[in-house]
Amino acid sequence: MEVVSCPILLSILVGLINADREKRIDEYPNYRKHQDIRKALNNTDRKSWLIYRTYSRDKDGSRHLCVYADVQEIGSVYTFEQGYIISKWRKKRNDKGDFIMRTPTKRRTDT
């Protein structure tokens, strides 16, 4: 039994080592041509909930939840108001800022 199980275990380990890892969305060859931050932000619904930036932080006995950005103006600079909800008092805290839009330069690896 021990002689049979060792080659089986070895073949499984070799398969795992040589296995391709998952492919991320930004690794696909046609990814960059579909990225348009202006198009994403300049829509009828100006408030964008930032799922991957949402955090849960306890401070002063309350929880900060639901990070969002509310776009005010689109141009070469877009002005936004970012906020989050404080659960205990159901308040919103807003921070204002500007994000400079730049046209990306084409890299040699882009197709």
Question: Phi and psi at residue 12, in whole multiples of 5°?
Answer: -65, -45
What gap in Å lies between CA 42 and CA 109, rounded to an integer? 29
pLDDT in tens, the chain (111 residues): 455 566 666 666 555 565 566 666 667 777 777 777 777 777 777 777 766 665 666 666 666 666 777 777 767 777 777 777 666 655 555 566 666 655 555 555 544
